[in-house]
Structure 1
Amino acid sequence: MKIKLTILFLAFSSILFSQELKIIQAVQGKDSNFFEYEDYETPDRPIGELIFLKGCSWYCGGSVKSIKASSELKENNGINYSPKNAHDFDKNTAWIEGKTNFGIGEFIEYSFDFSEMKEYNGGLGINRILLANGYKKNKLTWVNNSRVKQLKVYLNNKPYAVLDLLDSFEIQTIDIGEIKFPANKETKLKFEITQVYEGIKFKDTAISLLMFNGIGVH
């Protein structure tokens, strides 16, 4: 009887906890708002590649110290699928998890640490995620590979929110609330895959860009 009561208590506690965890819906953006060509010969003749967040952004003062993932797909024909690809300003690269069965439970983790920044007083923070879901190199690659449907976010290893993502080729944004980075302390944000949109060819789940906008720079 005691065992049954304990199981019921744990189940009830789990339900209450999941109800308290906020669910945040991604908002559809436009690539044209975030990508610009390197230059223009004339106003209607662009030169070079498309650049993500060209010009000044939160990254003029903010930065990510390190990125790691629970797994990554093995390099193939000189192409790697490192977690760093999700934060390299390049839509043609991607972090792809390295497990079978769509990578449910796999994660990518970002570390923020400004302790080496002189006179830093804790003013920097983030409030929005800018996300290119899937392998955005081209439309065929995007539909062939799986995309993330839902991410569970952990702030310093504690559950923070659930992000419901769009199955969209173009950039989407997620307002995650203000997260400030204190001085002399490392802050970690972990994003765990909990649901996916299945690719038509591969189970591999990809994220091309998972970057940030925030406060304390301008």
Structure 2
Amino acid sequence: MKIKLTIFFLTFSSLLFSQELKMIQAVQGKDSDFFDYEDYEAPDKPIGELIFLKGCSWYCGGSVKSINASSELKENNGINYSAKNAHDFDKNTAWVEGKTDYGIGEFIEYCFDFSEIKGYKGGLGINRILLANGYKKNKLTWDNNSRIKQLKVYLNGKPYAILNLLDSFEIQTIDIGEIKFPVNKETKLKFEITQVYEGKKYKDTAISLLMFDGIGVH
């Protein structure tokens, strides 16, 4: 009887805890709102590569100190799949988890630290994620590799929200609520893969860009 009561209590507590997490739905965006060419010879003649967040953005004052992941796919033919690829402003690179299955339970973690910024008195923070789901190098690569369907977010080690992502080649955005970065403290955001959209050819799950918009810069 005691065993049954314990199991019931643990199950009930788990369900109650999961219900307390915010469920946040991603919103479809357009690549044209976030990418622009390096330059133009004329209004209709672009030059160079597409640049993500060209011009002023949250990154004029905000930054990420470090990024790490629970696993990374092994480098192949000179191409690496490092966690840093998810935050390099380049749609042609990607973090790809390194497990043999679809990477459920694998994570990428961002560390924000403004303690070394002279005169920082607080006020910087994030409120939106800008996300390129999957391996966005081209449509064939995107189709062949798996994409993320759902992420569980942890704020400083504590569960914060569940993000439901779109199976979309173009940029999507997620309003995650205001997260401010305090003085003389690190803030860590961990994104754990809980569900995936299966790729046509590979189990490898990828994300090309997971970047931020926020407050306190302008």
State if a TM-score over 0.5 links the two structures: yes
Equivalent in the alignment of 1:92: 92
What is the alpha-carbon distance in structure 2 between the residues aligned to residue 126 and residue 144 of structure 1?
32
Equivalent in the alignment of 1:39: 39
What is the alpha-carbon distance in structure 1 between the residues aligned to residue 22 and residue 61 of structure 2?
29
What is the alpha-carbon distance in structure 2 between the residues aligned to residue 120 and residue 195 of structure 1?
38
After TM superposition, where is structure 1 displaced by more than 4 Å over at least 4 residues in a row? none
Identity of aligned residues (%): 88
Q: Which amino acid aligns with 1:30?
A: K
**Structure 1: gaps spanning 5 or more residues:** none
Q: TM-score, structure 1 length as denominator?
A: 1.00
Equivalent in the alignment of 2:176: 176
Q: CA deviation at 1:101?
A: 1.4
Q: Which amino acid aligns with 2:189?
A: L
Provide Cα deviations, 1:12-67, integer angstroms capped at 9, x if missing partner. Answer: 00000111111000000000000000000000000000000000100000000000
Equivalent in the alignment of 2:110: 110
Q: CA RMSD in A?
A: 0.4
SS in 1 for 2:102: helix
Aligned pair count reads 218
Q: CA deviation at 1:179?
A: 0.1
Q: Which amino acid aligns with 2:164?
A: D
SS in 2 for 1:142: helix
Equivalent in the alignment of 2:53: 53
Provide Cα deviations, 1:138-180, integer angstroms capped at 9, x if missing partner. Answer: 0000000000000000000000000000000000000000000
Equivalent in the alignment of 2:159: 159
Query: Where in structure 2 are the equivalents of 1:112-127 lying within 5 Å?
Result: 112-127=112-127
Equivalent in the alignment of 1:213: 213
Provide Cα deviations, 1:113-161, integer angstroms capped at 9, x if missing partner. Answer: 0000011011100000000000000000000000000000000000000
Q: Which amino acid aligns with 1:143?
A: D
Q: CA deviation at 1:4?
A: 1.3
Q: CA deviation at 1:3?
A: 1.4
Q: CA deviation at 1:100?
A: 1.6
SS in 2 for 1:149: strand
Q: TM-score, structure 2 length as denominator?
A: 1.00
SS in 2 for 1:13: helix
Q: Which amino acid aligns with 1:114?
A: F
What is the alpha-carbon distance in structure 2 between the residues aligned to residue 138 and residue 126 of structure 1?
29
